[in-house]
Structure 1
Amino acid sequence: MAKKVAHADYHGPSGGWGSVRALGAILRREGNAGSTALALRRQNKHGGFMCVSCAWAKPSPPHVFEFCENGAKATAWDLTSERIDPAFLQRHSVTELEALPDHDLEQAGRLTEPMRWNPVTDRYEPVAWEEAFRHIGQELKALSPDSVVFYASGRPSNEAAYMYQLLARLYGTNNLPDSSNMCHESTSVALPKSLGVPVGTVTLEDFEKADCILIFGQNTASNSPRMLHQLDEAARRGVPIINFNPLRERGLERFINPQNPAQMVATGSKRIASEDHRLRAGGDMAAMVGICRLLLDWDEEARQRGEAPLLDWAFIRAHTHGFEAFADAVRRHDWAAIERRSGLTRGALEGVARHYAAARNTLGIYGMGLTQHRMGVETVQMLVSLLLLRGNIGRAGAGICPVRGHSNVQGQRAVWITEKPELVPLHRLGEMFGFDPPRKKGLDSVEAAGKVISGEVRAVFQLGGNLVRSLPERRLLEPAWRRLRMTVMVTTKLNRSHLVHGEIAYLLPCLSRIEIDRQASGPQTVSMEDSTSCIHASRGIREPASPHLRSEPAIIAGIAKAALPSNPRLDWNAWVGNYDLVRQAIAATYPEWYADYSRRMWEPGGFHRANPAREREWRTETGRANFVAPESLEADPDVRIADGEVLNLITVRSNDQFNTTIYGYDDRFRGIHGSRDVVMMNPEDMQRLGLQATDRVTLIAAVQDGVHRDVQDLQVVPFELPAGCAAGYYPECNPLLPLWHHAKESHVPAAKSIPVRVVRQA
């Protein structure tokens, strides 16, 4: 039976004493409170370690405390005093551990030495590192490279990621899916077509010069709280910050900066979002079409009156392609359809358009509320087109800002963790290391899941991550996962993917980024890239949780030496002994981005990877920035909410989790306490469906494809979101998500729009 939920509206601000109390609670719970508090002073600082949580930018000079509530939780989680040693695993069979909640698995502590599953005892048992590598290498040699998947979470450093992709390609496969496949792959597909770069164009300095900020589908206070510093400063300058989100997100409404004593003492909270528009799930496309239509109409009227135009015609003519087709497509959408699909009135959109038209420099910020839809790629391109109308790409104070999730998901992509061979300098890798790299497209995360279910994938490596929980189609995926020949997990803690395992299963515990990484040449430094394409050095400061842990580069090298033939051009041992050699290889692979890497990463604030679009250099097929005509207002055309009993479910994260890591059962900003087994519903929908707060319900996926999908025993919680929409927590609601329900071009699971029926339980 699920835990009972307590729900009461949260009236406090984000930041402030609420964050301080939450930090104190997790420091006490995880142990080592004093030393962890000292470690936090080195977090995101020059000469210290980069946060293991989100990928938001690190300013220079940094704030006194350059960490947020969630970043502090992630650090405390890594530096816990709890340990999972061989004795712990001897006491508990894997079957017994499977019965524990996800939170309790990770709460049990850090893994201390390599383990191999024993099918006779159903327990993980200690194994020597070299024996583990030998056996894994033996199995890899017996498998077809196309049947093996090398997955990377966003945790590994650039150095580890470069070594990992090289291991996979030397082995003979481009099966290199990563966490971006499940969140911002829509960005990585959309932006190259529109702007010629796969990443955003905004830096921290742009926030200081912006005079309008538009935020779409991004819960800043929970997912990237340090951005609130920049938003707070902008709000105090009077910059209109306009938020579009189906859910009321209290954390973005008011903010108290914990670094400001006057605000903390006087409770001087500042409103962040000057406007907060509650659009329907997937209504962003329609809302942006409406704003664009207003701008087009007003510009034409102004020019007819002989007044200054609203659009930046000099920029449009000199730098863009496709404007006329775009304008024609926008004008074809009538206002009745725009209002119906967006859930916003024309009057509300006119207010937004006036702010945008009056601003010289506008930032367009977005998160997975745009990317995790069937038309996620097109929706991102629509935001680009909105910005292009007024020249808001490639100048100070303006630009597009996708907010990445995991701390180095953008960086590992930039050192070629990708299933797409056309994005990789394969010719150069072949020259450097004397081999013919595979050219066949590899599997992304969704495709890999499908091949696991069909039995075509036989082995899965996870460099971090928790795929059994994070992937869709759980009821088909878990049984298939157990039929895999081998699963190898490089990890710091125990999670569900370690218990739902293959015939052969290894747990290879690695150092945390916060721990000192001693190798032959001394303590090592690694690097990672933040959401603004800035690359930072990171050096561990704490003693390792166990003397038996190895670094991610050392583990990758151990597998490579066991699985691959010797290569006179590649000395894995030397690379492990000195990570400068890995950075030299990265720089030699792509000097335009990484020349003089080891020196530049130590610059205060790091160094920015080259971004041609910031300089209005458009590396697209047309040689210009491209307007993309919106063919439809529907972000999810396959989701038909015609039946009054069907709701559009949005999966969300709480402020007490990071990805699949659950720190606790409270979602302070939404006022939900004690459990995550909830479905948030509009009160009108509750009344129409005969439901009351505290009723227990089952959600059933309202699709007809021969597969039954449900999530049972959820408590109904009334919440402020549009009629026809509901919300539930990720990953608990993943079993409702069909594998085929993904963004058309990017394959990002469409987790922000799942059709469901709500059935009351007896």
Structure 2
Amino acid sequence: MLIHPKVHFKPYTHASGGWGSANSVMKILWREQAFAKAPKALLKQNKPDGFACVSCAWAKPGHPHALEFCENGAKATAWELTSKKTDPAFFSNHTLSDLRQWPDYDLEQQGRLTHPMRYDSATDRYRETTWEEAYRDIGAKLKTMEPDSVVFYASGRASLETSFMYQLFARAYGTNNLPDSSNMCHESTSVGLQESIGVPVGTVTLDDFNHTDCLFFFGQNVGSNAPRMLHQLQDVRKRNVPIITFNPLRERGLERFVNPQSPTEMLTPESTVISTQYHQVAIGGDTAAMIGIAKALLELDDQAQRDGGNAILDNDFIARHTEGFEAFALSVRAHHWQHIERKSGLTRGALEAAATTYARSQRVMMIYGMGLTQHRHGVENVQMVVNLLLMRGNIGKPGAGVCPVRGHSNVQGQRTVGITEDPKKVPAELIEQHFGFKVPQQLGLCTVDACEGILTGQVRGFIGLGGNFLRAIPDTSRMEPAWETLELNVQISTKLNRTHLLPAKNTWLLPCLGRIEIDRQNGKEQTYTTEDSTGCIHGWRGNAEPVGPHLRAETSIVAGLALATLPSGHSIDWQAWCDDYSRIRTAIGTIYPAIFHDMESRMAEPGGFHRPIAAAKREWSTKSGKAQFITPVTLNEDDDITPEVVPRDVLQLMTLRSNDQFNTTIYGYEDRFRGISGTREVVFMHLNDIVRLGFEVGERVLITTAVESEVKRQVGPFEIVAYDIPEGCAAAYYPECNSLVPLWHHAERSKVPAAKSVPVKLSSVGNN
């Protein structure tokens, strides 16, 4: 294992991008020994004749930059094209008990999986197997199990073609247990937007950035999580468009940016100011902040009416296109400014400044991330964003709309083609008509439900199409022991991770091709498709030779499992689909004709093609046929404990990512933008909280969840770092802090884990 450097903290004062980004890319290319493949691949990344980035889902332009990748995208490419290999010899030298002691970073640093493996409990090791044996034995085991006791999880990495096949496999098997990574991040978006405007996705495209005259950011760290968006933000700022940011921490990507592709910027001290207003909202204070903006807008409109000026609200739009405004406005007016200030952690003046800029703008986009969705009332957070947009008619016109920034590269797309636990969200009649099997009618398990099922014994089998499930979910200290009681655990993966090290009674590790690798089927190179955050579908192809001859495409693995498991009688020709992916796309178009008609030709268009978004045309697919103002029931986003009686030693903790990771994948131990290197075991706190609670900067502490005391949820020791964060708040890294998040601490209705606000207490190591 690697020896990690000494912990070091030094505040980062440079802009995002620039030489820091360039140096970081060079480091990972060297570390992954990827100089032979990665530089060539990077020239094709996110290009029409290349492959889709395996990192975030930000939009891919039809006319890309010379280098259409960001720092984290380059890291993801190097990580996939590494020369290192985790082969059968590696597993023969290490028991799983031994490997469980390794850090996550060290596990994935061993390189790409190369052979199908099966767990041998007698030796506590994975041993090499054949694909034929794996398919046969997994299929045989599935045939003995109750379909609703098996979970078919998808991480968001798989293509539209694979995802479509996967959900058909699960449903033909007899279950709707199709949880995915969206359940852990943006399901609050899918629920909230559907209720408010009749679509489960955002309404803006890349072109809207060219027309907007104001941007709002809520709970989204663009510098680490979607850095390519900084190109659009820089262009917007060059037009002097204001960007108003609400985020608890000051993040460098939302402050300043230097474009690494601009020689002028790289060779001068100049940088682009991103946020023109930066409001450090308290953790869990987003609803209160947005209510404050709405209240200020109503007061500005009142003043305009008294003065005989132009209305601030778009009254014609509200009357023609919406319902519920009167009740919403009445509720907003009833909130007192003192209460709003206390809940949001912001002053009335700050919220009025944001509202005034909004009122002066005609085409406004609101962008948000998991800082809004991962709360107990995350659905209401999303709906408050919509409420603000509806007040001034900012949905359904160029340069305006709602823009949720999705995480994993195809997480939105796989939902579009049927990866969902809700059978009402799939065209069951068309599936039954064309494929000859009955779609199960019972509601399946989402991620939280699947976890509860594993704890209770209801879930007996798990198939993972990518991902690192056990590190991504909450309550990991309870989930890991329960995991080993499963009867079946099948993992389709590219690299070794924590989930692979806790075996069920029957466990297989199946290595698949990466997205960047050439996928040859029946002697022909195949293309695949993905959907980005703006609802745009693109066609792609890999351009690097596979890391080894024993890897199989995800489509082939899904087909192999289906053929070994399902009875004959339905009309899916799995093998023909694998030989020619255009046949899968034809089937997708048959089942989802409104979105995917003529898919084969349209996916090759520069920039791909956009799925139809009714709300973007001011068509509202809601029960009433109008957009809905939905009034939040509370300003307290996370109401596990009553705020008025919260002990003074309880802090609200949010989990976050470093700029040296993507989801559960840790690329290194340097969070450059926050000045941390050598560790991830730190907790960020306001200096006043450090002093008043009796701690010192640099002290190592244990962090314990401050609710449900009968269940001990604790991590640490973590080192205290004094940071620019609101008082009463704290932050630490995901997934290290997932153990602190109770499984029941999730968003109402969407069941997204509420990892952005967890009540915690700190204690000195010597006191435990």
Shorter-chain TM-score range: over 0.9
Partner in structure 2 of residue 598 of structure 1: 600
Mapped pair 1:310 → 2:315:
no
CA offset digits 1:534-574 (Å, max 9, x no partner): 00111010110010000000000000000001235111010
CA shift, 1:654, in A, is 0.2
Letter matched to residue 504 of structure 1: N
Partner in structure 2 of residue 277 of structure 1: 279
Asked if the contact 1:5/1:715 (under 8 Å) is kept, the reply is no
Asked if the contact 1:463/1:489 (under 8 Å) is kept, the reply is yes
The correspondence for 2:179, drawn from 171, 177, 199, is: 177
The correspondence for 1:632, drawn from 629, 634, 647, is: 634
Tell me the SS of whatever aligns to 1:449: helix
Letter matched to residue 334 of structure 1: H
Mapped pair 1:712 → 2:716:
yes
Segments of 5+ residues of structure 2 without an aligned counterpart are none
CA offset digits 1:703-740 (Å, max 9, x no partner): 12521110021000001000000000000001111000
Matches within 5 A, 1:387-406: 387-406=389-408
Partner in structure 2 of residue 731 of structure 1: 735
How many Å separate the matches in 2 of 1:521 and 1:190?
A: 45
Mapped pair 1:644 → 2:648:
yes
How many Å separate the matches in 2 of 1:208 and 1:239?
A: 10
Asked if the contact 2:119/2:506 (under 8 Å) is kept, the reply is yes
The correspondence for 1:297, drawn from 296, 299, 312, is: 299
The correspondence for 1:564, drawn from 563, 566, 572, is: 566
CA shift, 1:640, in A, is 3.8
CA offset digits 1:452-500 (Å, max 9, x no partner): 0111100000000111111111111101100100100000000000001
The correspondence for 1:544, drawn from 542, 546, 550, is: 546
Asked if the contact 1:287/1:338 (under 8 Å) is kept, the reply is yes
Partner in structure 2 of residue 113 of structure 1: 115
CA offset digits 1:301-324 (Å, max 9, x no partner): 212322110011111111011110
Tell me the SS of whatever aligns to 2:437: coil
Partner in structure 2 of residue 370 of structure 1: 372
Mapped pair 1:741 → 2:727:
no
Partner in structure 1 of residue 668 of structure 2: 664
The correspondence for 1:155, drawn from 150, 154, 157, is: 157
Asked if the contact 1:587/1:597 (under 8 Å) is kept, the reply is yes
Partner in structure 2 of residue 350 of structure 1: 352
The correspondence for 2:138, drawn from 108, 133, 136, is: 136
CA shift, 1:124, in A, is 0.5
CA shift, 1:248, in A, is 1.4
Matches within 5 A, 1:185-584: 185-520=187-522, 522-567=524-569, 569-584=571-586
CA shift, 1:25, in A, is 0.2
Partner in structure 2 of residue 82 of structure 1: 84
Tell me the SS of whatever aligns to 2:668: coil
Deviates more, 1:424-433 or 1:397-406: 424-433
Asked if the contact 1:149/1:176 (under 8 Å) is kept, the reply is yes
CA offset digits 1:97-147 (Å, max 9, x no partner): 111100000010000010000011111011110110000001100000010
Partner in structure 2 of residue 676 of structure 1: 680
Tell me the SS of whatever aligns to 1:391: coil
Letter matched to residue 314 of structure 1: D
Letter matched to residue 663 of structure 2: N
How many Å separate the matches in 1 of 2:759 and 2:393?
A: 38
The correspondence for 2:31, drawn from 29, 32, 35, is: 29
CA shift, 1:34, in A, is 4.0
TM-score (norm 2): 0.98
CA offset digits 1:432-455 (Å, max 9, x no partner): 111111010000000100100111
Tell me the SS of whatever aligns to 1:67: coil
Tell me the SS of whatever aligns to 1:755: strand
Asked if the contact 1:330/1:630 (under 8 Å) is kept, the reply is no
How many Å separate the matches in 1 of 2:682 and 2:34?
A: 33
CA offset digits 1:189-240 (Å, max 9, x no partner): 0001001000000100101111110000000000000000000111111111
Tell me the SS of whatever aligns to 2:37: helix
Partner in structure 2 of residue 695 of structure 1: 699
Letter matched to residue 565 of structure 1: P
Letter matched to residue 98 of structure 2: E
CA shift, 1:64, in A, is 0.2
Asked if the contact 2:37/2:81 (under 8 Å) is kept, the reply is no
Q: Give the aligned CA root-mean-square deviation in angstroms.
A: 1.0
How many Å separate the matches in 1 of 2:358 and 2:277?
A: 13
How many Å separate the matches in 2 of 1:706 and 1:601?
A: 54
CA shift, 1:3, in A, is 7.1
Deviates more, 1:564-573 or 1:590-599: 564-573
Letter matched to residue 126 of structure 2: Y
Letter matched to residue 680 of structure 2: R
Tell me the SS of whatever aligns to 1:266: coil
CA offset digits 1:13-53 (Å, max 9, x no partner): 11100000000000011113143111100000011000000
Runs of 4+ in structure 1 deviating by more than 3 angstroms, as ranges, are 1-4
How many Å separate the matches in 2 of 1:624 and 1:5?
A: 55
How many Å separate the matches in 2 of 1:267 and 1:567?
A: 68
CA offset digits 1:149-195 (Å, max 9, x no partner): 00000100000000000000000000000000000000000001001
Letter matched to residue 737 of structure 2: C
Tell me the SS of whatever aligns to 1:10: coil
Tell me the SS of whatever aligns to 1:475: helix
CA shift, 1:282, in A, is 1.2
Asked if the contact 2:437/2:570 (under 8 Å) is kept, the reply is no
Asked if the contact 2:164/2:417 (under 8 Å) is kept, the reply is yes
Asked if the contact 2:18/2:257 (under 8 Å) is kept, the reply is yes
How many Å separate the matches in 1 of 2:686 and 2:4?
A: 22
CA offset digits 1:568-595 (Å, max 9, x no partner): 5111010000000000000000110000
CA shift, 1:7, in A, is 0.7
Asked if the contact 1:210/1:363 (under 8 Å) is kept, the reply is yes
Asked if the contact 1:648/1:754 (under 8 Å) is kept, the reply is yes
Tell me the SS of whatever aligns to 1:53: coil
Asked if the contact 1:2/1:713 (under 8 Å) is kept, the reply is no
Matches within 5 A, 1:602-617: 602-617=604-619
Asked if the contact 1:2/1:714 (under 8 Å) is kept, the reply is no
How many Å separate the matches in 2 of 1:80 and 1:668?
A: 23
How many Å separate the matches in 2 of 1:2 and 1:24?
A: 19
Asked if the contact 1:639/1:753 (under 8 Å) is kept, the reply is no
How many Å separate the matches in 1 of 2:324 and 2:669?
A: 49
How many Å separate the matches in 2 of 1:707 and 1:483?
A: 20
CA shift, 1:300, in A, is 2.0
Letter matched to residue 378 of structure 1: E
How many Å separate the matches in 2 of 1:150 and 1:425?
A: 19
Tell me the SS of whatever aligns to 1:461: strand
Asked if the contact 2:659/2:673 (under 8 Å) is kept, the reply is yes
Mapped pair 1:756 → 2:760:
yes
